[in-house]
Chain A
């Protein structure tokens, strides 16, 4: 269908006598965009959750402006959600949206200009602006419609405001539910499940609020039924195992509870804070507390104090907060007090991109401290892994008396995906501390000379009294500046990582174990990279990929895996120089962070393709990256 406001279905009455055309597809990507504050995100979250609960694969990504209330009708203020649903599990947000609901033409134009829409996308747009009292607004509408007239989008005008006014005086607050109704009809969603989720969403408000929202939902559903001539069917294959649906920050919070931690010390920072919102509601029912400290530094200190006293705690932050915690993390390493740090990465440096994704804290996590401060760095690749890695992090932190930093990112934090329901285990909560009285003469750092491991005494244990110090110290925790003591302390703290590394398994290669290019990724990019690799292989390219979960220590066997490929390159969401740019040479090129690390550790000439768009990578983009990194075919 050609794209022009003239094809509006606004005035059209009931659908054609033959009923709507139902198109069955294996997957579909929906975007809902509005001004900030109009509730597109809530609409998208519920739509994603309903889809997942019905058994579709799903992945949602929030589209977030940095400001709380950017100017209305501005492209920069586009706020909303992308929901990709499929018959099979969905692992990333995909390339382009197939269907877009826009609350005004400006936010629609923003998504169009970002190349976020599929060339045949269906667009449902609020049309009140076309006939608005303000002449400037009418002109802006016409300008955008002209801009879009060269595309092959199918544009359907929807009188959202006009319809909502029949139910509510404030349609700005109700359009999102009307839109949810539209989508529920188009995608054949189970309306009773949608109603349940609306009631859950508004459970803390007066009952009338939920009922008004449900009335708006029903109105949208009915309007769609009467006016639209298409429906989209994404078949459902019920998963065989019980599944749950939540976002990455919720899974981090759940993981912390399952791991038996009882103190979350934090300071508000986007996009990490929602972990504490979630815990704030339920943590006390588990005997835990969220301590909102006076600053990021104190949050780390309180967590260290609690851990030192035998109650292993965690702190949750993002890049700028990680920077502030640097000194305390160094202290925890030095005194060998367990500490779990959850870092939900955002764009940097400095305040950077507060709401947007980046993978730029890897080297800071590893090397921010002055002196040698060996610590464990983990990166979950999926929302499910966010849960299990917090459990793992606590166990490792206690086992090695050390610091474990878990790097997630804004993509995982707000993304929603169904995953198998974890089987909880009481052993995850046990504190591996020997609480028996300490025999006279046992040293506070009774390092096993081979393993670097030692028993930890905590306050309350008779006979174990000693003073921890961030100064260089000997096995008795006595300040010791002599060369031998300092060398030995450094070696013992470092040895623990080597011991851990030898207990790990080599990572699994996705695709053939040999080929022309091995793409190495870490963190949330896994799904998008694997989808890009699938596409590359479908084109006959000999590409495989491996996703690393342990960044420190690095997983074993990398050199052997790399040796079976003609070339190795990383794909990351962080900055690297591009060859071909002015002044950039092979000699001075600054590499992506994982590439830097892998080059140092393996001496392999690892290449990289990295981008910092402030949004998750798209498989299409990664495919281009793969092609730029592929070595020239031998002639």
Chain B
């Protein structure tokens, strides 16, 4: 993401020599359950902010409602903890008029793929530059154990105690199916190196970066990813020089597949359900048009506007 100078009357500090440590980004004490995958994701994000030295005042985290959406409270940046499913429209409004800000969106699976599904599809199409993290634990946790669109079929919950009736929605396929998609990746909370490398790639991508993070919920779906956590052979890493490379994990995660993120067709194929969980970048294309750039306008002074408005009035003069 390029550093743009602030578009709002020169507020903020440009080209300063300040530097930030991890502590500078730490907000309130995270109150997720012990063992919740969200802790690891928060740690990875704090690490990214520090590594990229993002000025806290120029960084905005927008979230919806759910366990995952508590995220902004635990950071010391600007944050907007909004309403269920609707983080993306708010984030779009922020970035559209303030392209100088670094915008991150944190959503859960209910937020993104259920109540906010319409916004998700269109946000992908707008391709406004931001990092959208979808923390997918396959369940509604905050409201205590209800089936979500990504809950595996036959998995029991309080609303569907005999097991989920339907096949789960595949967020990767859905995102890859939307025109103008520009970055689609998957990672997992229990593989910190891959998690960090993926969100870093997402941050560095120019456009709408969609990252599905498989996330464990110790309370309600502790067994959902258990097998994959215990058995690295369940994981297939998509690797490529233009994708995510984590050589430090090679000894553990031996299942690898070379996938060029420019190859959309193969990316779509790889996103389909398989006997392995695939992590990495399924698709990336920086040449896709970015809505905030298509709609960028130069700032007009009040006097300019008045002069132009008076011309407009002339057309309607009696």
Contact = CB atoms under 8 A, between A and B. Distances in A.
Nearest to B18: A462
Nearest to A305: B93
B312 A282 contact: yes
A291 B295 contact: yes
Interface string A397-440: 00000000000000000000010011010100111000100000
B297 A284 contact: yes
Interface stretch (A253-261, A506-514, A542-550): A253-261
A467 B60 CA distance: 9
A431 B6 CA distance: 15
A113 B78 CA distance: 62
A435 B90 CA distance: 21
Interface stretch (B80-88, B146-154, B166-174, B227-235): B80-88
A421 to B, nearest CB: 6
Contact of B302 (A285, A311, A421, A430): A430
Contacts of A258: 305, 309
A287 B297 contact: yes
Contact of B94 (A265, A306, A327): A306
By size class, the interface of chain B is 35 or more
A52 B89 CA distance: 43
Nearest to B27: A467
A455 to B, nearest CB: 14
B96 A460 contact: no
B89 A301 contact: yes
A132 interface: no
A245 B118 CA distance: 40
Contacts of A301: 82, 86, 88-90, 92-93, 119
A52 B316 CA distance: 10
Contacts of A426: 302-303, 306
A423 B89 CA distance: 36
A263 interface: yes
A469 interface: yes
Residue of A53, A245, A294 contacting most chain B CB atoms (<10 Å): A294
Nearest to B77: A465
Count chain A CB atoms within 10 A of each CB in B56, B121, B313 and give the residue with the most. B313
B96 A302 contact: yes
Interface stretch (B97-105, B191-199, B217-225): B97-105
Contacts of B302: 260, 426, 429-430
A305 B91 contact: yes
B86 A310 contact: no
Interface stretch (B7-15, B35-43, B180-188, B276-284): B7-15
Interface in B40-86: 55-62, 65, 72-73, 75-83, 86
A372 interface: no
A244 B316 contact: yes
Interface string A309-338: 111010000000000000110010001000
Contacts of A311: 8, 97-98
28 contacts: A242-B318, A244-B317, A254-B309, A257-B305, A258-B305, A260-B305, A287-B300, A293-B89, A294-B121, A298-B92, A301-B93, A305-B89, A306-B98, A309-B93, A310-B97, A311-B97, A331-B83, A431-B9, A435-B9, A459-B78, A459-B98, A460-B98, A462-B57, A465-B57, A465-B76, A467-B27, A470-B83, A471-B81
Given A286-B309, A287-B298, 12 more contacts: A55-B318, A242-B318, A254-B312, A263-B97, A297-B89, A298-B86, A305-B96, A311-B8, A458-B11, A467-B73, A467-B81, A478-B73
